[in-house]
Chains A and B, each alone.
Chain A
């Protein structure tokens, strides 16, 4: 059964303090790993798709990386506006739908 586990559940950082969010996954043949950002009371916003181990993608202060067992979302010099819940999801080769993790709530203090 495909599974996605995100850690930590919550992370509080000072503005400018870099860190990483983890997404561990178990899937039979990875077709894609997805990162989303969700603000309170809103729908998730697509950030990245990663397809194979070693792949990296960047967007502003965010960088997503992928290995055969996990993905990291690195946030460099975060700002308060980066505060949100970050969701990881995977699509396996035998699946017709994406499986979501429970998310990491990121809070950046000014």
Chain B
């Protein structure tokens, strides 16, 4: 079955460490997105990519980095520069155009 796979489901990080969240899709979607969700808040866009080897900053890109070397993969690195990284991270993909997104099941990151 086609879909989006995020791993790991839970991730713990020590302060000062970088950590990379994985997102893989087999839907043949061109566009991919990373969102952050905090309790009681909506989805906030971190980065998005509409084609391979190209990506744009979203509303809260500071302290994060991404790469898009393959159409299927869009990993997100949470760097030590992100001051408050504990959150639920969601990856999504879509066909370019007026279509809704398909979401992964999320990664919950906790800084300890």
Chain A interface (Cβ within 8 Å of chain B)? 31-32, 34, 36, 41-46, 49, 51, 87, 89, 91, 96-98, 100-103
The reply to whether A31 and B103 form a contact with Cβ atoms under 8 Å apart is: no
* Residues in chain A near residue B88, CB distance under 8 A: 41
The reply to whether A101 and B105 form a contact with Cβ atoms under 8 Å apart is: no
Chain B 8-40 interface 0/1 with A at a Cβ cutoff of 8 Å (1 = within): 000000000000000000000000010100001
Taking CB as reference atom, which chain A residue is nearest B94?
A: A98
The reply to whether A96 and B50 form a contact with Cβ atoms under 8 Å apart is: yes
* Residues in chain A near residue B56, CB distance under 8 A: 96
The reply to whether B100 and A97 form a contact with Cβ atoms under 8 Å apart is: no
28 CB-based A-B contacts, threshold 8 Å: A32-B98, A32-B99, A34-B100, A34-B101, A41-B108, A43-B6, A43-B90, A43-B92, A43-B105, A43-B106, A44-B101, A44-B103, A45-B103, A46-B101, A46-B102, A46-B103, A49-B99, A51-B98, A87-B42, A89-B100, A91-B98, A96-B48, A96-B56, A97-B45, A97-B48, A100-B43, A101-B42, A102-B42
- Which residues 81-101 in B have Cβ within 8 Å of A in the complex? 88, 90, 92, 98-101
Closest chain-B Cβ to A23's Cβ sits at a distance in Å of 12
Give the CA-CA distance A45 to B105 in the complex, in Å. Answer: 10
* Residues in chain A near residue B40, CB distance under 8 A: 102
The reply to whether B101 and A42 form a contact with Cβ atoms under 8 Å apart is: no
Main secondary structure of the interface of B (DSSP, over half): strand
* Residues in chain A near residue B90, CB distance under 8 A: 43-44
* Residues in chain B near residue A91, CB distance under 8 A: 98
* Residues in chain A near residue B42, CB distance under 8 A: 87, 100-103
The reply to whether A43 and B43 form a contact with Cβ atoms under 8 Å apart is: no
Give the CA-CA distance A65 to B69 in the complex, in Å. Answer: 40
Give the CA-CA distance A97 to B40 in the complex, in Å. Answer: 22
